Amino acid sequence: MRTPRTTVLGVFIVLATAALADEPLYRYEGDVLPYPDGGWHWGGCIDPCSESIENGRFVLRWGKLGRIINYDRVIGDTPKEIPPSLWIEWRLRSNVPIPQFADDCDARFSINYRMLFDVVYPFGDAIVSFSGDDWLLGLALDEFHTFRFESPNGVNYWFSVDGVVFYETYGNYPDEPFAYLQFGGGGGCGETRPPDPRNEWDYIRYGTIGYGEEIVSTRPPGTRGLGDEGTKIEGYVDAREWPALDRFVVHFDAANYVYVDEISVEVVATEPRSDEGHCGPLHDCRGTERGAGGDCYAEAGQRAGGDGGDRA
Ligand SMILES: [Ca+2]
């Protein structure tokens, strides 16, 4: 006797166009101290400040008294060595909330690259630009967030947090044959300073911005491969088998360390399926592989109102 179950029969649509594959020039993964092993200059952490490596993360603690700590690293010091474009990405967790009347006393990140120089101030729940005119508030406190800087030309640049650009501007300093970055922190200040302020750096990476790398293959839930560029592919999704629809593997023709751009995924719920072994009332697909059965697959797409893509 079958046990009735209710799941969702859906259509999984992937629109794949271009993807970024950014070549890393340097990766600090938080598994050694930034100084002397990570290639940074000493940051000035002395008792009661402490440095440690915990679970692949570089952890800074300040004890009762905050003290500004800064680690510097040279990116390039001749025109030839300075990358033509630059991205920097870092993953940080802090338990220090932003205070009401200050915007610069927790973590910090500085970048000097060609015609730009700037500083941003991340907190555990916010990030603020040097001028204080740009910010992003309301981040989940004491959770990791991914911060990213990008400059395609050494003049224009922007910062984002978890993919959201909060600050975009341009530099107008002389074009220097020297580039460096700096990270550190101050351990918080004011009434919001926790008893044990802590900054955890999971990684800091930088490299040049790449464009147009090919997506070689992917297997989103229920689909049969990747269609031509810009085409939609559709598949069959069973909620019991794919509880995490936002996680699947994408293969590129070159290393991609940072993020995928312009892949959109749309999952359209169509109707509940009430009996294991049937694709709802559409088609009996027992004995076929999920997502590979041509008829069942096609009918599911039609019922969902999909445009059909390049289905066989
Ligand atoms: Ca790490």
60 CA from centroid of ligand 1 (Å): 14
Number of domains in the chain: 2
164 CA from centroid of ligand 1 (Å): 22
DSSP 97: P
Nearest Cα residue to 225 out of 214, 215, 233, 237: 233
Last residue of one domain, picked from the residues 162, 189, 208: 208
Last residue of one domain, picked from the residues 189, 208, 227: 208
- Residues in a beta bridge with 127: 122, 136
SS3 296: helix
Count how many residues are written for the chain: 312
Same domain, 200 and 220: no
238 CA from centroid of ligand 1 (Å): 34
89 part of a folded domain: yes
What would the two tokens of residue 247 be? 């996680």
27 CA from centroid of ligand 1 (Å): 10
Same domain, 180 and 231: no
200 CA from centroid of ligand 1 (Å): 9
146 CA from centroid of ligand 1 (Å): 12
What would the two tokens of residue 126 be? 């916010």
- Termini Cα distance of the chain: 35
56 CA from centroid of ligand 1 (Å): 4
57 CA from centroid of ligand 1 (Å): 5
Q: Is there a contact between 168 and 158 (Cβ–Cβ < 8 Å)?
A: yes
Nearest Cα residue to 61 out of 237, 157, 193: 193
258 CA from centroid of ligand 1 (Å): 14
| Cα 176 from Cα 115, distance rounded (Å) | 7
158 CA from centroid of ligand 1 (Å): 24
196 part of a folded domain: yes
Same domain, 87 and 121: yes
119 CA from centroid of ligand 1 (Å): 23
Q: Is there a contact between 30 and 259 (Cβ–Cβ < 8 Å)?
A: no
- Overall pTM surpassing 0.75 (yes/no): no
90 part of a folded domain: yes
Last residue of one domain, picked from the residues 177, 208, 239: 208
Q: What is the pLDDT along the chain (312 residues), one digit of tens a residue?
A: 333 333 334 444 454 444 445 668 999 999 999 999 999 999 999 999 999 999 999 999 998 777 899 999 999 988 888 998 999 999 999 999 999 888 889 999 999 999 999 999 999 999 999 999 999 999 999 999 999 999 989 999 999 999 899 999 999 999 988 899 999 999 998 888 899 999 999 999 999 887 655 555 565 555 554 544 445 555 555 656 666 666 666 666 655 444 454 455 666 665 554 444 444 333 333 333 333 333 333 233 332 223 333 322
Same domain, 241 and 139: no
Q: Classify the C-alpha dihedral 55-255-247-206 as positive or negative.
A: positive
Same domain, 262 and 188: no
Same domain, 83 and 153: yes
123 CA from centroid of ligand 1 (Å): 19
Question: 48 preceded by cis ω (within 30°)?
Answer: yes
140 CA from centroid of ligand 1 (Å): 20
Q: Is there a contact between 126 and 108 (Cβ–Cβ < 8 Å)?
A: no
34: CB partners within 8 A, 6+ apart: 28, 40, 43, 58, 71
- Residues in a beta bridge with 167: 159
309 part of a folded domain: no
- Domain residue limits at 105: 23-208
pLDDT number for residue 80: 82
Same domain, 198 and 51: yes
29 CA from centroid of ligand 1 (Å): 4
55 CA from centroid of ligand 1 (Å): 7
| Pairing relationship of beta strands 135-137 and 145-151 according to DSSP bridges | unpaired
Same domain, 181 and 95: yes
The DSSP element (H or E) to which 133 belongs, if any, is none
Same domain, 219 and 172: no
273 CA from centroid of ligand 1 (Å): 42
120 CA from centroid of ligand 1 (Å): 21
38 CA from centroid of ligand 1 (Å): 12
33 CA from centroid of ligand 1 (Å): 11
pLDDT number for residue 1: 34
